[in-house]
Structure formats: structure tokens, C-alpha cells
Amino acid sequence: MAVHFIDNSVFQDSVSTQRMRDVFDENTMFQRWLDVERAIALASGDLGIIPKDAAKRIAACAQVDKIDIEAVKAHGKVTSHSLMGLLKDFRRVINHDDARYVHWGATTQDIVDTGMMLMIRDAYAIIEEQHLDILRHARPLLETYRDTVMVGRTHGGHALPITFGMKAAIWLDELCRQVERWKAAHERILVVNIIGAVGTFASWGAAGFELQKRAADILGLGTPLSPWATSRDRMAEAATLCALTSGTAAHIAKEIYNLSKTEVRELEEPFTAGKVGSSTMPHKRNPVHTEWSIVLDRLIRANAGVSLEAMGAENERDATHWKAEWIVVPETFSLLSGSLNHLDVTLSGLWVHADRMFQNTGMLKGLLLSERAMFVLAETMPLPEAHELVYQASNRAFDNDTYLIDELMVEKGVAGVCDRSKIEAALDPRSYVGLAGEIADRVGVRIDALLKTP
């Protein structure tokens, strides 16, 4: 029976994706450990540390489907050791005297850390692909809504007009930066940790560096300059990248969530037939995808904190910190993949109510353009005086629920110097969006470049 939602048959697709669950599946983990044992054996055989025939035999048997997983579990219950059970059954599978060369010179953390890096590498590729899928699917928003006028909000209130194309561009530009962060960290994070008991390579002698390099090449990972058994910054960086990306997903989701509220209703998650929002209120269309991105962000950021705590590991090995990663790394990547999936579904099918967006620009009866009205007046008077006149008129408009233009025209300092029609023209939100369209264009160019990059 599943305990965690990631493994719950009903809810697992709400919090993760099947592709990412497969990466960190128990059998996959054991296979990655065997992959590391295989690489060490092959490298050792090439260097004459163990017989070459033994290395080939070990490599040929390094397949998890030959392992008796129940025997491995039973062994672990007796020994309380994470790897010995697998090694014992692996030697049984080999069924030859060459089995004595399995794990030659290695230590448990060599296998577990490097195996984790293999899983992170596969997870890394999925996250990068999801990034690009979102950018590809959301890219049309920039063109379709480049000039769609809506309210720009600051401090929770109406400020000045913007376009939805610009708002979407800001979201996607942030996601572009996440793509670049993941690319930049790739080589720094994805390395082996094949170093021996305390990181001196003593069991392999002078061939230690070369063995590490050859094993890394077999596995498709990089080689570190120094041992990192207690230098956990790579794992912490991976978790932090997850948190940063999750933060972007939650930022976008929160904006859509707020703009989909009934009183605003400028945006909506895609709605499909059969989707139910409430067990008792038939009319409800709840924003489930954005809600999940927001919820998962809290968990992912908390996990990043745990990974940062693990950087306090001591001496040359410290399981009191290290083992926390066994839990939070698979969980973090699984949750992030789920969050990005929700974001992709939301943005690729987003309902944009352009008419409602424009309608909401008039909600404050001209106050949305108070800045522009001030600048029109400043053509005939000092800016501070214009600000004060518009400020007083705005306060009356707020208090009396009247139009800004009417309150301005009763001001003695306004009617005598400025024609009503000029101010009315200035209060058209479509005429005061600045370079919003150009911002959308610029981000579109950036996205196109990223999508073309191999």
C-alpha cells in the first residue's frame, strides 16, 4: 500500500509524472548501482587491477532483472546495510570465482553517490525537456496577445495599462533564465564520486585517477577534481535549481490563479468535459493545475533547505547528512516534474478573456490613466502642480465613485489650460502601453533561439 502521493495510484499523476517516477524507481536505482559496479570493473580490467576476463564477466551479469530483490531486502533487514545485500546477490548471479572481484577497491558511497548522479542525469534531461516544451507551447501567447490591453497591477491594485503579451513575456523570460541556469550547471553537477574509502584512491594505487576517468567515461559523467563525499554542494545545487524552477512555475501559476477569480475572470485554466470542481457545487470550475504548482513549490523549496543542510557533513564521510539526500532528491525531482506538467497543461490551453481584460481597464473610471493625465497637464504647468491637481481629483473620484475626467474639469487650474477632449484621449488605455508589444517581441526572439539550440 502506497503512503506517499508519488506512489499513490490515484494521486501520483497529480504530484509527479510517470517518466520521472521511472527514473527513481527502486529497480532503476539498483540498476544504476550495478551500472557503477560494471563501470568500475571494466575500468579496473583495462588497467590490470583485476583480470580482464573477470571484468567482462562482471559487466555481463550487471542486470537488475537477474537480481533477487526479495533476497536483497531480507539481507538489508539483518545487516542494516544499504549495499551489501545487492552485492551478495550480484555475486550469486555471477556464479564464478570472478565474483570476488566485484566492488574491488570501491566503497558504498562510491556506488550510491555515482548511482544517484546517473539518476539525476536522467532526471535533468527530463526537466530540461519540460522547460522547452512549456516555452514551445506558450510561445504563441506572445504573438496572439501582443497588443491585448489589460490592467497592470502594483501592490494588488490597478496601476497602468499593460498588454497580456507583455505579462506572458515576463513569465517566459523568467523560464528562459531557468533553462540557462540548468545548462550552465550541467557539467559542474553531473560527476562521478568514485574515490575509495576516504577519497585517497589508495585501494587502486597510482591508477586511481585513471580508473575514475575511465569509469566516468563509461557512465557518461564527468570527473571531479577532488573527492566530494562530504562536499555536498553539487546535490544542494541540483535541489536549488529545482527550487528556482518551481518558484517560477508557482509565480506563473499564482498569477493565473488570481486572474481567474470570478470578480476578475481575465484568465482561466483550460476546462474539459467531465472535469468536476466540487462534490456539492455543480457550477465550480476549480483551478486545479495552478493550485498543484503552488502546493508543490512549497514542498520543493523545503526540500532544497534540507539539501543545503546536508552541506554541513563532517570529515571524510557523514551519513547523518548524506542519507537525507536519498529521500529528498528523488522526491524533489518527482514533484518538480509534476509541477512543470501542470504548468504546461495550463499555458498550452490557457483561456484568455480579452474582452474582460479591456472591460476591467475601465473599472476605475479613468483612474488607471492618472499618470498620463498628469503628464498632459504638465505640458502647461510644473509637474508637481500637475501631480497635486490629479491627486486631488483622483481622491474625489475614489470617494464619490465618479469619473476622473469630470473631477479634473471642475478644477480651476485644469479647465482653463487644457481641453476636455485632449484629456479624454489621454485616458484611452490602448494609447498608453509604452513598449509592451516590443517587450513581447524581444522575449519571443529569445525563446526561438533557445528552442533552436541543440
Q: Report whether pLDDT(197) > 80.
A: yes
Burial 25-39 (b: 16+ CB within 10 A, else e): eeebbbbbbbbbbbb
Q: Is 1 exposed, middle or buried (0-12, 13-18, 19+ CB in 10 A)?
A: exposed
Strands (DSSP E) found in 255-345: 267-268
Q: What is the pLDDT of residue 453?
A: 79
Higher per-residue pLDDT: 224 or 319: 224
pTM of the model: 0.93
Catalytic residue ranges: 155, 278
> How many helices and strands (H and E) does the chain possess?
20, 4
Please give the average per-residue pLDDT across 35-42, as a whole number: 98
- What does pLDDT average to over the chain? 94
DSSP string across 152-176 = EEETTEEEEEEEHHHHHHHHHHHHH
pLDDT digits (tens, 9 = 90+) for 124-163: 999 999 999 999 999 999 999 999 999 999 999 999 999 9
The domains spanning 15-106+194-220 and 108-192+228-364+435-454 adopt the same CATH topology: no
How many other CB atoms are found less than 10 A from the CB of residue 94? 20
From the list 432, 415, 366, 423, the residue with the least C-alpha distance to 394 is 366
Please give the average per-residue pLDDT across 239-247, as a whole number: 97
Q: What is the pLDDT of residue 120?
A: 97
DSSP string across 200-233 = S-GGGGGGHHHHHHHHHHHHT-B--SS--SS-TH
Domain residue ranges in the chain: 15-106+194-220, 108-192+228-364+435-454, 367-426
Q: Report whether pLDDT(8) > 70.
A: yes
Q: Which three cell numbers stand for residue 28?
A: 532503476
Judged by average pLDDT, the poorest of 198-207, 219-228, 396-405, 415-424 is: 415-424
Please give the average per-residue pLDDT across 212-230, as a whole number: 96
pLDDT digits (tens, 9 = 90+) for 385-419: 989 999 999 999 999 999 999 989 988 878 878 88
Q: What is the pLDDT of residue 278?
A: 67
Q: What is the DSSP letter of 432?
A: -
Share of the chain above pLDDT 90, in %: 81
How many other CB atoms are found less than 10 A from the CB of residue 19? 16
Q: Report whether pLDDT(279) > 80.
A: no
pLDDT confidence tier of residue 309, bands split at 50, 70 and 90: very high
pLDDT digits (tens, 9 = 90+) for 115-133: 999 999 999 999 999 999 9
From the list 254, 297, 247, the residue with the least C-alpha distance to 156 is 254
Query: Selecting from 1.10.275.10, 2.30.30.240, 3.40.50.10740, 3.40.50.300, what CATH number does the domain 15-106+194-220 have?
Result: 1.10.275.10
pLDDT digits (tens, 9 = 90+) for 44-55: 999 999 999 999
Q: Which three cell numbers stand for residue 121?
A: 542525469
The CATH fold assigned to 108-192+228-364+435-454 is Fumarase C; Chain A, domain 2 (1.20.200)
Q: What is the pLDDT of residue 326?
A: 87
Please give the average per-residue pLDDT across 304-324, as a whole number: 90
pLDDT digits (tens, 9 = 90+) for 255-278: 999 999 999 999 999 987 777 766
Q: Report whether pLDDT(76) > 70.
A: yes
From the list 147, 189, 195, the residue with the least C-alpha distance to 168 is 147
Please give the average per-residue pLDDT across 178-194, as a whole number: 96
Higher per-residue pLDDT: 276 or 67: 67
